[in-house]
Structure 1
Amino acid sequence: MFYERAGKTVCISNPRQEGSVSIVGAVSPPGGDYKDPVTLAALKIVQVFWGLDKKLTQRKHFLSVNWSISYSKYMKALEPYYESMDPEFIGLRTKCREILQQEEDLAEIVQLSALGKANKITLDIAKIIKEDFLQQNGYSTYDRYCPFFKTVEMLKNMGGFFDQAVHCIESSSCQITWAKIRENMSDIIHKLSSMKFEDPADGADTLKERYGKLFREIEERFRNIQDV
C-alpha cells in the first residue's frame, strides 16, 4: 500500500520507506498498427513509449524496441542528472540518434553507388550501433546489463570513429575513400563491434582504460592514414 506525502510516495511498511511508483501499460494493436484508436488514445497520456517491432523480433534482435518510434518526454528533466554523471553523454546520445535517423533516410535509396562517401560511412556505423550496441544478450555476463559508464564509453568510440572517418574523406587532398579506410582499419572496426564483450564486473576504471586506449588508437590510425 502507498500514499502520497509532500510530493513523495510513501510505502506503508515497517520501517517506512519513500520511493517512486512506475505504472507500465501494454497495448497490442491489431497487426502492429500504431494508428489504431486504442493505441492513439494510450499514446496521448503516456510519457514514455517503447514501440516493439515485429521485424526486429523476426531478426532475433533483443531488445526488439524500435528506436525510431520510441520516445521519452522526460529527456529534458533528466538532463541535469546526465550532466552530473558525464557531461559528454547528451551530445553522444544525440550523435547516435542522428546516425540512426540518417541511416533510415538513406535506406530509401536503392542504388548504393548513388550514395556519397559520408553516406556510406553512416550506413556501416549505423549497422554497428544497431547490431553491437542496441542489441543485447540477456543471458550473458557481459551484456545482460550495461552500466552508464560503459554506455558512454561505447558511444564515445563509435561517434569518434564516425567523426574521424567523415573528416578524413571530406578534408583529404589525396582522395581517401571509405573503402580504403575500411580496408586499412578492419581491425579497429572489429574492435568497435567487440566493445560489448567487455564485462562490467571488471570494474569501471578497468573498462574506461580499455575503451580509452581504443579511442586513442582510433585517433592515431586516422592520423597515419592521412599521412600515407
Structure 2
Amino acid sequence: MNYKSNIFFHREQELFLFDPTKHVKRPTSDQKEFEALIAPFIADIKCSLNETAMALRELHAKNPPHHFLSRFDSMFFNGKFIGILKDTLGVDYFDVNSEGRTYMKLGKYTVFFKKVDSNLNPRNLRTQSTDRIDAQYARISETPSPIVFIGYKPMRGNWSVMDGLYAIYNDKERSKRWVSDLFVIEHIEAINKQVIIDNLISTVDTEQPRIKVRKETVQAM
C-alpha cells in the first residue's frame, strides 16, 4: 500500500478546502470597529450566560449524575445560551448558515458563540467547515463576511462563574489574530459614561432655578 507524504497530503487537502472555484476569501476585520459594535450587547450576553447557568444547575438538581453524558454540559449550555440570547435581542439579529450553525449578524461581521479553551481557542471538533472558518474562507454561495467568535470561559467545574468573555478573530492563513476582553471593554464603557454624566452635572448652574416662572401682571379694576 502506498502512503502519501504528510506535506503532499496537507497541500492536497488545502486545495480541496479552499478551491477558488468553490470558495472565496472573507474580508479582513477591524478590531476597534468590532469592539464598538459589540459593546452595547455585552450586558445582554452576560445576563444570558447567567440565566443559562441557572438552567443547567436546575437540571442537575433534578436528575442523578448518571443521566448525563460527559459532553452534555457544554452542548446544553451553548444551545440554551444562544436560545436565551435570541429571546433577549430578537431573532432578527440571528441566522443559520448552510452547515446549520447559528450566528449573529453584527454589521459586516458573522459572530459565532462558543466555549473557549485555556489558549482562548474555540472548542470545535476539527472538520472541513472549521478549517475554512479558521482560514476565513466562505463558500461561493455565501455572502463573505469576517467571522468573529464570542468566546466564554467558565471556571473549571463551575459553569456559574465566567473567568472571561472574549471577542476572538483568527485568520490562520494570514497568521493574523486578535483578542478583545469584553469584561474590560464593558468596564471602560461604564467609566466613559460616568465621566459624561459627571461633566453634564458640572455644567449645571446650581445657583439658578432650573424652572423659570413667568410673573403675571395684575391690572387694577
The structure carrying a bigger helix percent of its residues is 1
Largest Rg, 1 or 2? 2
TM-score normalised by length of structure 2? 0.24
The structure carrying a bigger strand percent of its residues is 2
Higher RCO (Cα < 8 Å, 6 or more apart): 2
TM-score normalised by length of structure 1? 0.23
